[in-house]
């Protein structure tokens, strides 16, 4: 290694330094770009997810309020009808509407409210006019076989209004429970026991032979002399809300969003995707998520579900009259929600790759130019040294010419070295000339002595 030429050493050193410098720059740039891409991707992902969540919240809120308004408006109908009944119940016999007139009033109300499926008013014994004994045995459609006033109008699938006679008034006291623990006559017994308005859990009801719909009932108690006297209520066909939910889903990420209306007990009252579970518990449709979804509208700030596959939000639907809360749940596959993020990441990745390529190209070009410049610099050092070497070799030979001086005009150190060498040659020439002169005088003196 020590005996290698200075030129080889300088070239090797320059090349190694350039390689180290170039590789360091490229690696540093790549690491920085990768880190920047990761940071931007994370920030963008969080931003896109927040935008998606806010959109889902806004949609859930918008249509949740729409459903709430449907219920709250619908409650106005039995509430108004109850006021009519209350004035008659509390009024004098002469001012009281007849049972027939009250029955026809109920039919007229349903006819003017197309969003309702039925309307009814059913009473405790002698709670309306104290005249039950005159209407026993089915003498009038509006009265049961025991004489109690039982009004029930419904709308068939063609939209026509029909009256349905209730022959047996005991059906409204049926405590038989279904599979969900709900009594068959909950629509009557709830208000009877609580003395408050009640919103029924969704249930499938056969309106006429072969025609059934998923319904909910809005029921209000009737009072006579401060005591419970019966109920007035209206049924809402949930198929209308079902159509709304499907339309919401279709407008939300081209149908990828799953929209579900869940009752207070957790039964599915409407859904865009889980049709076969209508009227069934949410946990049957989503056994692994139902419990988490049910907590979403009750957890304050923790109102977003994200398991890596789906993102879900919920909006509470408050039915004021009965102080009941249902929920609007919207789910969205995570890959659909973050599809825009994937596009951003692809573009970002392409830009990072392009930037890295440009940096690599620039690094190669800079390295080549630097190498060329350093080659020129090294040659400017080694060429004068080669000339000095050759001149020294020439002097060492028998034909050494002391008259040829070095002419070097690059690098102060080399110029000083050449000047020193030329000064040495001048002294050497002077010494040789002096020796020649002395030699001549000695030869001359020797000749004279001889």
Q: What is the pLDDT of residues 303-357, one digit of tens each?
A: 788 888 888 998 999 998 899 999 999 998 888 877 665 565 566 566 666 776 7
Mean pLDDT, rounded, for 257-274: 93
Pick from 191, 192, 216, 194: which is nearest to 203 by CA?
Answer: 216
Averaged pLDDT score across all residues of the chain: 83
Q: What is the band of 444 on the pLDDT scale with cuts at 50, 70, 90? A: confident
Determine the pLDDT at residue 222. Answer: 95
Average pLDDT over residues 241-261: 88
Range(s) of the chain covered by CATH 3.30.450.20: 68-240, 248-337
Give Cα separations from 420 to 26, 184, 290 (angstroms).
46, 122, 97
Residue range 277-287: mean pLDDT, rounded:
94
The C-alpha atoms of residue 36 and residue 225 are separated, in whole angstroms, by: 77
Instruction: Report the distance separating Cα 167 and Cα 97, nearest Å.
Output: 22
The whole-angstrom separation of Cα 414 and Cα 293 is 85
pLDDT band at residue 232, thresholds of 50, 70 and 90? very high
Q: Where are the beta strands (DSSP E) in 250-323?
A: 258-262, 268-271, 304-306, 310-319
Using DSSP bridges, classify how beta strands 304-306 and 310-319 pair: parallel, antiparallel or unpaired.
antiparallel
Question: Residues 287-313: what's their mean pLDDT?
Answer: 82
Contacts of 262 (CB under 8 A, 6+ apart): 268, 269, 282, 293, 294, 326, 327, 328, 329
Residue 357 pLDDT: 73
CATH topology for the 68-240 domain: Beta-Lactamase (3.30.450)
Give the DSSP per-residue string, 81-129. Answer: HHHHHHHHHHS-TTTSPPHHHHHHHHHHHHHT-TTEEEEEEEE-TT-SS
More confident residue, 334 or 2: 334
pLDDT digits (tens, 9 = 90+) for 172-224: 999 999 999 999 999 999 999 999 999 999 998 887 777 788 999 999 999 99
Rg (C-alpha) for the chain, rounded Å, is 51
Q: Which of 10-24, 37-51, 411-425 has the lowest mean pLDDT?
A: 37-51
- Comparing 400 with 385, the larger pLDDT belongs to 385
Q: Name the band, by pLDDT with cuts 50, 70 and 90, for residue 7.
A: low
Q: Given this model, what pLDDT does residue 439 score?
A: 80
* Residue-level pLDDT at 397: 65
Give the pLDDT confidence score for residue 121 in this predicted structure: 96
Alpha-helical runs (H) found in 232-298: 239-251, 282-285, 290-296
The answer to whether residue 396 scores a pLDDT higher than 80 is: no
List pLDDT tens digits, range 134-158: 999 988 999 999 999 999 999 988 8
395: confidence class by pLDDT, cuts 50, 70, 90 = low
pLDDT of residue 425: 75
Q: Is residue 259 a contact partner of residue 251, using CB atoms and an 8 Å limit?
A: no
Residue 430 and residue 242: Cα distance in Å, rounded?
Answer: 120
Alpha carbons within 13 angstroms on the beta-carbon side of residue 214 total 21
Percent of the chain predicted with pLDDT > 70: 83
For the domain bounded by 248-337, which CATH number is listed? 3.30.450.20
What would the mean pLDDT of 399-419 be, rounded to a whole number?
A: 72
Q: Pairing relation of β-strands 116-123 and 227-237?
A: antiparallel
Rounded Cα–Cα distance for residues 236 and 215 (Å)? 6
**Which carries the bigger pLDDT value, residue 95 or residue 424?**
95
When pLDDT is cut at 50, 70 and 90, the band that residue 231 belongs to is very high
- For the chain, the straight-line distance linking the first and the last C-alpha, in angstroms and rounded, comes to 62
The answer to whether residues 256 and 52 touch, using CB atoms and an 8 Å cutoff, is no
CA 347 to chain centre: 20
pLDDT at 356: 67
Instruction: Compute the distance between CA of residue 217 and CA of residue 199 in angstroms, rounded to an integer.
Output: 6
């Amino acid at each position: 290694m020590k005996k290698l030429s200075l030129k080889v050493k300088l070239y090797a050193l320059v090349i190694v330094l350039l390689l180290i410098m170039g590789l360091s720059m490229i690696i540093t740039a790549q690491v920085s770009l990768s880190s920047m891409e990761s940071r931007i991707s994370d920030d963008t992902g969080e931003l896109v997810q927040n935008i998606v969540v806010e959109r889902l919240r806004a949609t859930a809120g918008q249509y949740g309020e729409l459903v709430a308004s449907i219920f709250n408006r619908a409650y106005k109908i039995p509430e108004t009808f109850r006021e009519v009944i209350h004035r008659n119940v509390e009024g004098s016999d002469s001012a009281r509407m007849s049972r027939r007139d009250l029955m026809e009033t109920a039919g007229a109300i349903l006819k003017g409210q197309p969003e309702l499926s039925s309307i009814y008013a059913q009473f405790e014994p002698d709670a309306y006019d104290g005249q039950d004994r005159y209407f026993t045995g089915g003498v009038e459609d509006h009265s049961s076989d025991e004489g109690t006033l039982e009004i029930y109008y419904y709308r068939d699938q063609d939209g026509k209004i029909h009256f349905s006679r209730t022959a047996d008034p005991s059906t409204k006291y049926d405590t038989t429970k279904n599979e969900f623990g709900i009594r068959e006559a909950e629509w009557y017994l709830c208000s009877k026991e609580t003395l408050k308005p009640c919103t029924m859990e969704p249930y499938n009801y056969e309106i006429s032979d072969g025609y059934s719909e998923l319904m909910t009932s809005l029921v209000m108690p009737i009072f006579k002399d401060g005591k419970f006297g019966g109920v007035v209520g209206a049924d809402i066909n949930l198929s209308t809300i079902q159509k709304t939910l499907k339309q919401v889903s279709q407008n939300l990420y081209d149908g990828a969003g799953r929209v579900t209306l869940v009752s207070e007990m957790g039964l599915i009252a409407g859904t865009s995707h889980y049709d076969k579970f209508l009227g069934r518990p949410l946990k049957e449709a989503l056994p692994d998520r139902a419990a988490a979804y049910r907590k979403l509208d009750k957890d304050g700030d923790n109102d977003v579900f994200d398991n890596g596959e789906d993102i879900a939000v919920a909006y509470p639907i408050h039915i004021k009259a009965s102080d009941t809360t249902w929920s609007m749940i919207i789910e969205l596959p995570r890959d659909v929600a973050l599809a825009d993020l994937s596009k951003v990441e692809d573009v970002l990745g392409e830009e990072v790759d392009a930037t890295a390529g440009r940096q690599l190209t620039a690094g190669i070009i800079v390295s080549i130019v630097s190498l060329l410049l350093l080659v020129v610099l090294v040659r400017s050092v080694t060429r004068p040294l080669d000339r000095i070497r050759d001149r020294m070799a020439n002097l060492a030979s028998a034909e050494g010419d002391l008259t040829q001086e070095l002419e070097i005009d690059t690098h102060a150190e080399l110029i000083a070295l050449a000047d020193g060498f030329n000064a040495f040659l001048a002294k050497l020439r002077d010494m040789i000339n002096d020796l020649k002169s002395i030699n001549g005088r000695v030869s001359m003196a020797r000749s004279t002595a001889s």
